[in-house]
Amino acid sequence: MTLETYFDYFILPILTISVILVFIRLIKGPKVVDRVIALDLIITIGIGIITIFTIRSNQKVLLDVAIMLALIAFLGTVAFSFYIEKKEDD
């Protein structure tokens, strides 16, 4: 079995199922915190999908996109946690 076969038949379907499950959590999340964490997790799974596509297509430019998405997701999570902390102090 080659690496491409693993990508096509195991890894990508698992990532697809995980995106669907996290999207359900994003819609049903009872609190805003659950929705923000679900959105951050969707971005993280998207980075994984971009990385797999980069390996399969041998286009190194897409890794820059994945790095930028990771940076934006991290900064968004930090900003939201800062907002929650300030809100609890009031």
Q: pTM for the full model?
A: 0.87
Q: What's the number of CA atoms in the CB half-sphere (13 Å) around residue 59? A: 10
Residue 71 has pLDDT above 80, yes or no: yes
pLDDT band at 87 (very low <50, low <70, confident <90, very high): confident
Span 8-48, pLDDT tens digits: 899 999 999 999 999 999 999 898 889 989 999 999 999 99
Helix, strand, coil percentages (3-state) for the chain, rounded to 5, are 90, 0, 10
Q: How far apart are CA 23 and CA 4, in angstroms?
A: 27
Q: Are 15 and 49 within 8 A, CB to CB?
A: yes
